[in-house]
Amino acid sequence: MNISITFRQMDATEAVKGYATEKVGKLQKFLRQPLHGQVTLSCQKTLHHAEVDVHAGQHHFHAHEESEDMYASIDLVIDKLERQIRGAHGSSKKKGADRASDHLLPDEPEE
């Protein structure tokens, strides 16, 4: 697991860095391969922006959020990524079920 954090237009604090690293690290339990994450945190006036890119094998997930609190922005963006990852796993399972049904023989029409 490799997570890098970039601060733009704000001071880098260990508390925010540790919080973001911990939250992104928890996404690993939803992924089969080790994740590589890029977190960008920025502040413009009263809005705090959080943007996260996650790569795990062939999968790529991206989300961004903004709010008046940096911790809230991080929480919102992690929630978004978790939904994306779960949705991607759900669609791949569905595709497998569709493939299994393709192997069934069709019913022969009655005459």
105 found inside a domain: no
15 found inside a domain: yes
30 found inside a domain: yes
pLDDT in tens, 13-32: 999 999 999 999 999 888 88
100 found inside a domain: no
Alpha helices, DSSP H only, in 1-111?
Answer: 14-25, 70-102
Q: What are residue 49's DSSP bridge partners?
A: 42, 66
CATH of residue 19's domain is 3.30.160.100
What is the structure's pLDDT at 88? 84
18 found inside a domain: yes
Residue ranges making up the domain that contains 77:
2-91
Q: Say how many domains are in the chain.
A: 1
104 found inside a domain: no
Flag the least confident range among 9-13, 36-40, 82-86, 87-91.
87-91
Distances (CA, A) of 27 to 19, 35, 81: 13, 8, 8
21 found inside a domain: yes
Q: Cβ atoms within 10 A of the Cβ of 48, count?
A: 21
How far apart (Å, rounded) are the C-alpha atoms in residues 38 and 100?
37
Cβ(57)–Cβ(33) under 8 Å?
yes
Percent of the chain exceeding pLDDT 90 equals 63
79 found inside a domain: yes
